[in-house]
Amino acid sequence: ATPCALEFMDSASLKLIRSQLGEDFPSAAEAMLMIEVDDSKQGITAAVEAIQQAAQNSGNLEIKIAASQAEQEQLWAARKILSPRLREIAPKKINEDIVVPVSRIPALIQTIEQLSAAHQIQIANFGHAGNGNLHTNLLVNPDDPEEIERAEACLDQLFTAVLKLKGSISGEHGIGLVKQPFVARQIGESERRLMAGIKQQFDPQGILNPGTGPQL
């Protein structure tokens, strides 16, 4: 069976939810991949065996199977409380939805760790490993102008790194207003003109979500 969910959580995320995961969670773990499969009983058994076989490597500390409904709910509860728990670290999160090819996720995480150290900005990453879409959260104090400046510089370099990894600056949330200055790095002028033309055909008066279309 193909997994129906592949959720990644990095070390910063795990620190926030260890109490939710239970005392037997490995203290040395720096990341977790939560895999969910759905199928017939026989199909699930085969899928679990295949996953266990594929996960046998030197970096894997533990494979834990959530066999009961309660154990499954415990894992999902831990994943779902991540976003609100970020408020315990900082009053504001700059939440990005970057995406890279699945094979480049390790390189992306390594780059983010380097940027975090270089700019002295706490960053927590979690998201959908099955399609390479990570929610990267820069944790900042909005009342600290110097920290906001460092966060903006960090974000600028993050988008550059994502594009070098053949990724996209947005995988789910869209561009909106904040990411407008970065669109030209990813999409060429001819593509932006095509997008603007399509927008013009469907919204000639510019009344639908004004100001968020591609900038030429």
Task: At 32, list the tokens.
Answer: 């977790």
Domains of the chain: which residue ranges? 5-83
Question: What's the average model confidence in pLDDT over 192-210?
Answer: 91
Number of C-beta neighbours around residue 148 at 10 A: 17
pLDDT at 16: 87
Q: Which residue has the higher pLDDT, 158 or 199?
A: 158
pLDDT at 211: 77
CB 118 within 8 A of CB 138: no
Calculate the alpha carbon distances from 162 to 87, 170, 179, 206 in Å: 26, 10, 14, 31
Task: At 107, list the tokens.
Answer: 């390189």
pLDDT tens by residue, 143-174: 999 999 999 999 999 999 999 999 999 998 88
Q: List the single range of 20-24, 29-33, 66-70, 86-90 with lowest mean pLDDT.
A: 20-24
pLDDT tens by residue, 5-59: 999 999 999 988 887 777 667 888 899 999 999 988 888 889 999 999 999 888 8
Question: What's the average model confidence in pLDDT over 49-76?
Answer: 90
Q: Which residue has the higher pLDDT, 211 or 12?
A: 12
Q: Find residue 137's DSSP bridge partners.
A: 95, 124
Which bin fits 100, alpha (ψ -120 to 50), beta or left (φ > 0)? beta
State the Cα–Cα distance between residues 93 and 59, nearest whole angstrom.
30
CB 155 within 8 A of CB 94: yes
pLDDT at 19: 73
**Among candidate residues 171, 19, 30, 176, the one with its CA nearest the CA of residue 106:** 30
pTM of the model: 0.88
Question: What's the average model confidence in pLDDT over 139-146?
Answer: 97
For the chain, what is the mean pLDDT?
91
Burial of 154 (0-12, 13-18, 19+ CB in 10 A): buried
Q: Find residue 92's DSSP bridge partners.
A: 140
Question: What's the average model confidence in pLDDT over 122-141?
Answer: 96
pLDDT at 23: 63
**Among candidate residues 149, 30, 151, the one with its CA nearest the CA of residue 96:** 151
Residue 105 has pLDDT above 70, yes or no: yes
Q: What is the DSSP string of 65-91?
A: ---SHHHHHHHHHHHHTHHHHGGGT-S
Helix, strand or coil, per DSSP, at residue 129: coil
Residue 88 has pLDDT above 80, yes or no: yes
With a pLDDT cut of 90, the percent of the chain lying above it is 65
**Residue type present at position 60:** N
pLDDT at 174: 85
Q: Find residue 136's DSSP bridge partners.
A: 96, 125
